[in-house]
Amino acid sequence: MTGQLFGWTGRYLRVDLSTGASENLPLPEDIRQTFLGGRGLGGFFLRDFATLPCDHPDMPLIIASGPLTGTNSPASSRCHIMSRSPLTGAIGDASVGGRLGLELKHAGYDALVVTGQANTPCGIEIDDHEVRFTDATNLTGLPTPDVFAKLRAHRPTGCIATTGPAAENGCRFASIMVDTYHSAARCGLGLVAGLKNLKYIAVRGTGATQVADPAGLAAAVEDIERLANASPALMGQHGFARYGTGSLYDLMDSRRMMPTDNFARTHFPPAPGINAYAYAQRYHPVRRGCPGCLVQCKGLSGDGRPLPEYEAMSHFTALIGNEMIELAMRATDFCACLGLDPVSAASTLACHRERTGEDYGPDRVLALLLGMATSQGPEAELGRELGQGAASYAASHGRPDLAMSVKGLDLPAYDPRGAYGLALSYAVSTQGGSHLRANPLSHEVLRKPVATDRFSFSGKARSIKSAEDMLAAADSLPICRHLLLAASLEEYAKAFAAVTGLPATAGDLLLAGERICMQERLLNAQNGFTAKDDDLPQRFFTESGSGAPDLPVPPIPRQDFLAARAAYYRIRGLDLNGLPTRDTVQRLGLPWPKQWERA
């Protein structure tokens, strides 16, 4: 393509750790427009390698920005990291904040694709079009704050992303930490880097994203910011801007959706004393967040520790039976320092606790976290076993029913018995146990944009499919999902059109999102995932939650769930076994897998 390029850089960087080679390659126009960037582009680069084992040198680790990255579009500084998950075997991806996406874009790349395997721990340092490989042996075994401190000594600007000890020691839910406080936590992406002997990536760029219509972008930004400022969930007295996502803590408990004692109950009586307000009173947090975001939903205590986000706040209290607020703080900080996903770490602790009947004290929790990440300390042997994840641990002890996961990915801190759209979204998520593929909590609990009956499957199949498409597009622009509690793809389509100079409507972005979701379905199907994997743990169909006299929480009706799942399959264009049909794949312009042609 000739002439100036708007939104995208039109280039991506491919790095081979086995050979030490790097290539600056063109990103064709049709690929950019078809998959946008972020999550969609990650799936495209994964497509030819998705059936390889996670430890195969050719398995890529992909970091992708999007067309809105580096512009004034609100909450668009994020990037998406993707590979095959060593925890689940399905696609593994995470949206992450900080400056990684910005610096990659400023360096001139829409994506970084890392393949190969280094002989010794290494780092990748990118300064615009200069790429260097470094020896990172001296950084192994260090907690992530020490890695950041050492690297900042000679790279005070730009972005740094690193793994912690968990990735070096085979923990299947190891994370990648970005700019000290941002985490690509879920799916074990840190272990993918660890298997490649990749310790860190540092990126610094001096370029800028070109915008086709600055005035049009300014108008779109004004609309988005006005809607965000009017949103109680984001900017209200008890919203994310004041308390972070922890503001959901009381709400989930009052709705009888607080996962308690490994999801055996849905109400935690000590909750009012350990909510977001209690953290604010005790730790006096300073608000932080991603560049260019008006919400600033993260919080740091006076001693520099990250305040737990809602999932960690809930899982390190109710899920494991702990009512000590400082233990939740310390456990969250341990996970950040060690490079652990707090959701999977706490879920595995809860699974072990239910199996053994053991109650945890603070020293025990921290020792087990240390064992998960390092295979060292007083709980090294058990920690190493727990580090394989709750599903593996429970199965090895003959109690697979105690793993509260979908496709091997542990459920976040929202009990599905309290919201049936959430139950369906957990089951059909291509990633596994995640609410963020469709986020039905917005209408089932927060009642935005309109309220739906949370104890009914009526209409949920179509709403989940539509929301999945919307969020796939959002992850590919990429933008923070929180902003979609206020603005919509209508506003972001205007921003996209202004940035790229391409006519676009919300419908165009939804079609791209549908294509991205189907691409992920294809990748999973090639690895053997079928309808049997689109299911929930049996506990949710056989046991009641902790209801109140005026708020019963019965088990999810199994037949209603199966009917809703079948409806979702029809609407999504899948067959009765949850597999993509040739007609749907062709309609969306995706290639039919070669091994299916041979079959």
Residue recorded with tokens 């041979």: 598
Task: Measure the CA–CA gap between 99 and 159, rounded to whole angstroms.
Answer: 5
CATH fold for the domain made of 428-598: 1.10.599
d(CA 531, CA 392): 20
Q: Are strands 198-204 and 122-127 parallel, antiparallel or unpaired?
A: parallel
Classify residue 90 by burial, with Cβ atoms within 10 Å: 0-12, 13-18, 19+: buried
d(CA 424, CA 436): 12
Task: Report the CATH fold assignment for 242-404.
Answer: 1.10.569
For the sheet with 176-178, list strands across it: 130-135, 122-127, 198-204, 159-163, 176-178, 182-184
The boundaries of every CATH 1.10.569.10 domain in the chain are 242-404
Query: What is the bridge-based pairing of β-strands 21-26 and 11-16?
Result: antiparallel
Low-confidence stretches of the chain (pLDDT < 50) are: 1-2
pLDDT of 599: 52
User: Residues spanned by CATH 3.60.9.10 within the chain?
Assistant: 11-204
Q: Would you identify the CATH topology of the domain 11-204? A: Aldehyde Ferredoxin Oxidoreductase;  A, domain 1 (3.60.9)
pTM of the model: 0.96
Q: What is the pLDDT of residues 456-504, one digit of tens each?
A: 999 999 999 999 999 999 999 999 988 998 899 999 999 999 999 999 9
